[in-house]
Structure formats: structure tokens, C-alpha cells
């Protein structure tokens, strides 16, 4: 079996105030998978994500990316390999133009000149935002800013793309456009979401986190149609949405 792109073993973590957020999480994601990370607020999802590129450091257990341990000496390379797109694009976009935002990471890696321009334009083309390259980010709609935030991460050519609530605050057209983009990307995806229809549409596998442990790990359709599991983990489908009426979505 190939080395997982993401290999989390026995991960436990408590915040300085003593609040224990993770109690021994095991999670293995292989190249090319698209996995949804589901669970109620306070389940530990964000805490887990912040360990994946070393923003937080494990109290116990380990995290490795393609066999490379997430530890201090590897952080620069880990942060290139694990691209996190935060829920609020304004946490990620801080330069005067879209071009400068997307160029920021690759420029820090030493790419410059025509090569840098090519990387920037390719990343923007992948998210359908090339024509906005010289716009100030604050002149863009929220959905456009989220797509530029994805481009800033893609420009680093990550092995795994981690998205925190990617569909939140998007209108229906922007939500669909982002789904089309995510489907088109040849990259491993871990998607933290409360949007269960989005999880079903985009991710064949779902991992449910509850109380700082993995409560379930299986096909998204199976998770969403297991009424007892859903109730036990405070997961609610939107009114009128029934995965059974759609069937198991092909990917």
C-alpha cells in the first residue's frame, strides 16, 4: 500500500486552558482522495486541521505528510505540501492586487520573473479568475475572493488541499462554480464542512469527528443515510434533502 498523503496517528491535544480538543485521532488519506470531515461545532475539526501544517503541535501522537513528520525542522516544506484555505478569504488575501496575493507564496520559495508570472496565471486559470489578476481583492465579490484564496494555495502546488467550510456564505451560483473547480483539480482534498449536500456531491468518503475522536469513517452516502449515526453525532440534513432520493453520487 502506498504511503498515505496524510497520516494522523493517535493525535491528542489540549489547549493551554486545559480544554482537551482531541483524544487520539487516527486518519489516513491517500493520494487523489476527496474526504469530508464532518461533525458538530466543538468536535475538534479545526484543531485537527491546524495540526496538519504545524500551526498547532501534537500533545501526543503524530502527523506525517507523504511520510514527512510534521515537526519544526520540516515546517517550510510541510506548509508547501499542505495548503489550507481558511473559511474567511480575508484571512488569506492581504496584498494590493490579486497577482501579488497569488505570487506571495511562490516568491517566498524563490520563484521570480517570468516563471513566477506563469505560476500565478496558471493558478488563477484553474479557479477561473485569470481576468481579475490586476484587481484589488477587496473589489471582488465574496465568492471571487474565495476562489482567489484557493489560487494562492494552488500556486504552491500542494499535495493536499484542506478547505475549511468552503461553501459557507456563498450564493447558489458561486457554490456550484466552486464545486466545479474542486472537481476539476488533480489534488487530494480534505474538506471540513457542515454542508452535508456539498460533502455528498464532492467527497466519496466522510470522516465524522465528535468529542475529539473519530466516530465514523466510511462512504459519504452510507454516513448520511445512517439515521442513528447522524443523530448521535448531531448531524442534520437540510430540510427536504434526502440522499436516498439522489442515490450514491458518482465521482
**Does 245 fall in a domain?**
no
pLDDT in tens, 91-123: 999 999 999 999 999 999 899 999 999 999 999
pLDDT, tens only, 130-187: 999 999 999 999 999 999 999 999 999 999 999 999 999 999 999 999 999 999 999 9
Domain holding 59, by residue range, is 6-235
Is position 247 within any domain? no
In a domain, 251, yes or no: no
Question: How many independent structural domains does the chain possess?
Answer: 1
Q: Tell me the DSSP string of 103-137.
A: HHHHHHTT--HHHHHHHHHHHHHHTT-GGGTTS-G
Q: In angstroms, rounded to a whole number, what is the distance separating the alpha carbons of residues 221 and 209? A: 16
Per the domain annotation, does 242 fall within a domain? no
- Quote the pTM value: 0.92
Cell of residue 236, nine digits:
442534520
Q: Which CATH number goes with the domain that contains 116?
A: 3.40.50.300
Amino acid at each position: 500500500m502506498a504511503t498515505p498523503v496524510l497520516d494522523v496517528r493517535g493525535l491528542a491535544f489540549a489547549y493551554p486552558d486545559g480544554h482537551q480538543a482531541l483524544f487520539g485521532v487516527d486518519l489516513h488519506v491517500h493520494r487523489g482522495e476527496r474526504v469530508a470531515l464532518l461533525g458538530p461545532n466543538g468536535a475538534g475539526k479545526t484543531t485537527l486541521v491546524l495540526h496538519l501544517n504545524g500551526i498547532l503541535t501534537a500533545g501526543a501522537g503524530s502527523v506525517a505528510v507523504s511520510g514527512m513528520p510534521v515537526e519544526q525542522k520540516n515546517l517550510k516544506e510541510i506548509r508547501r505540501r499542505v495548503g489550507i484555505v481558511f473559511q474567511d478569504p480575508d484571512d488569506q488575501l492581504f496584498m494590493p492586487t490579486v497577482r501579488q496575493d497569488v505570487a506571495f507564496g511562490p516568491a517566498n520559495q524563490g520563484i521570480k520573473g517570468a516563471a513566477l508570472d506563469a505560476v500565478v496565471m496558471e493558478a488563477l486559470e484553474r479557479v477561473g479568475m485569470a481576468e481579475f489578476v490586476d484587481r484589488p481583492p477587496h473589489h471582488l465579490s465574496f465568492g471571487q475572493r474565495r476562489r482567489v484564496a484557493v489560487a494562492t494555495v494552488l500556486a504552491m502546488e500542494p499535495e493536499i488541499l484542506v478547505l475549511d467550510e468552503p461553501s459557507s456564505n456563498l450564493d447558489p451560483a458561486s457554490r456550484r462554480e466552486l464545486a466545479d473547480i474542486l472537481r476539476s483539480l488533480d489534488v487530494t482534498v480534505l474538506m471540513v464542512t457542515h454542508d452535508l449536500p456539498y460533502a455528498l456531491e464532492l467527497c466519496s468518503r466522510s470522516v465524522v469527528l465528535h468529542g475529539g475522536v473519530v466516530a465514523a469513517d466510511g462512504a459519504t452516502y452510507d454516513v448520511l443515510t445512517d439515521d442513528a449515526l447522524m443523530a448521535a453525532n448531531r448531524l442534520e440534513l437540510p430540510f427536504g434533502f434526502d440522499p436516498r432520493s439522489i442515490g450514491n453520487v458518482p465521482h
